[in-house]
Amino acid sequence: MEKTAIIAISTGCLDYLDFTHENLYMLRCKILIRDEQYNDFTEMKAEQFYQLLNDDPDLVPKSSMPALGEISDLYEKLETKGYTDAIVVSISSALSGTYQTCLMAKNAYPGNLKIHVFDSKNAAISEGFLSIQALKMLEVGASAKAVLETLEKLSLSRKQYFMVDNLRLLVKNGRLSNAQGFLGGLLKIKPILEVNQNGKIVSFEKVRTQTKALEKMANYIIKDLKTLNNFVVTYNTSDNTSGYQFIKDKIESAFPNHTHYAAPITPVIGCHTGAGTVGIAYFDLDALIPKRVTY
């Protein structure tokens, strides 16, 4: 009989939600600050991390993926616990080497556990949302194959924007594609960035003030949501409570009591976004419904 575990990465920010599940397991990325290394969330939480960034504007923290040995040990643990399958919901392969490392551990694993490494093409809480949906499907008896097919459709139904207070860390750590379009005005703009369909962070629009950037992001999302019947919204912020509340209130005014998930941006992602970021994404849940063929 099939028994499936979901392996989430700490980049999905699930630690900050009131959410637990017996079939959920976590792999933790690392934060490197000066000469010290910390496990994401368990040794360095969001509030502490962003205080460090605010106290030292020149600080350049680094991130590191879970160690190959840790991943292999978790695979072995799951098989020992009686799991037949494990689905790893990874941060976008365009943003981290975590996906490839999990694949390497899978290919080297000598046991019988069936390991499925899924590239979410997402990051932060929109990545975490995919793990939540996978677990909900398992609760109603879905197979690992059905879960993977659904995750693929969901990941492609997503649109995601975020505003960063400045591009310093994204540029220094090499996570921003086509950055040259912004560099001339690095300190003068509040750029809107997008995580595209390939899971890359790309420039979307230059805006002069934070308020205008948040307003534009909200308006883009509202315009899209008006064309949808069934959706979920995700919100993220790195220590920008007022910005987060502004954009959430805008969406709530247009769609009262909408279904959403919200979480701080965990430090391993904050190594690249820096403090002051606000992110918003949505998933079109109707993308999961098979299209009716007419003749």
Confidence check: pLDDT of 13 > 90: yes
Residues 9 and 141 reside in one and the same domain: yes
Query: What is the number of domains present in the chain?
Result: 2
Q: Is residue 224 part of a domain?
A: yes
Confidence check: pLDDT of 291 > 50: no
Q: Which two tokens stand for residue 47?
A: 């509030």
Residues 75 and 144 reside in one and the same domain: yes
| Cα gap 122→269, rounded to integer Å | 12
Domain's final residue, options 156, 173, 194: 156
| Cα gap 59→270, rounded to integer Å | 12
- The range of the structural domain enclosing residue 147 comes to 4-28+66-156
The 3-state DSSP class for residue 8 equals strand
Give the percent of the chain with pLDDT over 90: 81
Residues 121 and 264 reside in one and the same domain: no
Q: Is residue 295 part of a domain?
A: no
Quick one: which of 33, 34, 31, 35 has its CA closest to 66? 31
Q: What is the pTM of this model?
A: 0.92
Confidence check: pLDDT of 24 > 90: yes
Residues 104 and 78 reside in one and the same domain: yes
Confidence check: pLDDT of 295 > 50: no
Confidence check: pLDDT of 53 > 60: yes
| Positions of E strands within 65-171 | 85-90, 114-119, 158-163
Render pLDDT for 91-108 as a digit per residue (tens, 0 to 9).
999 999 999 999 999 999
Confidence check: pLDDT of 89 > 90: yes
Domain at 103, CATH number: 3.40.50.10440
| Predicted pLDDT of residue 293 | 38
| Cα gap 274→39, rounded to integer Å | 18
| Cα gap 102→229, rounded to integer Å | 36
| Predicted pLDDT of residue 164 | 87
Q: Is residue 193 part of a domain?
A: yes
Residues 13 and 146 reside in one and the same domain: yes
Residues 123 and 248 reside in one and the same domain: no
| Cα gap 266→41, rounded to integer Å | 7
Confidence of residue 175 (pLDDT cuts 50, 70, 90): low
| Predicted pLDDT of residue 208 | 85
Residues 133 and 248 reside in one and the same domain: no
| Cα gap 89→7, rounded to integer Å | 6
Render pLDDT for 131-171 as a digit per residue (tens, 0 to 9).
999 999 999 999 999 999 999 999 999 999 999 887 777 77
Q: Is residue 198 part of a domain?
A: yes
Beta bridge partners of 116: 87
Confidence check: pLDDT of 88 > 80: yes
Residues 222 and 234 reside in one and the same domain: yes
Residue 60 buriedness (CB in 10 A; 0-12 / 13-18 / 19+):
middle
Mean pLDDT of 258-278: 95
**Are 7 and 74 contacting, i.e. CB atoms less than 8 angstroms apart?**
yes
Confidence of residue 294 (pLDDT cuts 50, 70, 90): very low
| Cα gap 119→105, rounded to integer Å | 15
| Predicted pLDDT of residue 176 | 59
Residues 126 and 180 reside in one and the same domain: no
| Matching residue, tokens 């509030």 | 47
| Predicted pLDDT of residue 191 | 84
Q: Is residue 120 part of a domain?
A: yes
| Matching residue, tokens 């879905």 | 142
| Predicted pLDDT of residue 244 | 97
| Predicted pLDDT of residue 178 | 53
Q: Is residue 16 part of a domain?
A: yes
| Matching residue, tokens 């368990």 | 42
Confidence check: pLDDT of 242 > 90: yes
Residues 20 and 148 reside in one and the same domain: yes
Q: Is residue 210 part of a domain?
A: yes
| Predicted pLDDT of residue 162 | 93
Domain at 253, CATH number: 3.30.1180.10
Q: Is residue 42 part of a domain?
A: no
Provide the CA 15 distance to its chain's centre, in angstroms: 12
Residues 22 and 140 reside in one and the same domain: yes
Provide the CA 71 distance to its chain's centre, in angstroms: 19
Render pLDDT for 205-235 as a digit per residue (tens, 0 to 9).
888 899 999 999 999 999 999 999 999 999 9
Render pLDDT for 59-73 as a digit per residue (tens, 0 to 9).
999 999 999 999 999
Residues 240 and 111 reside in one and the same domain: no
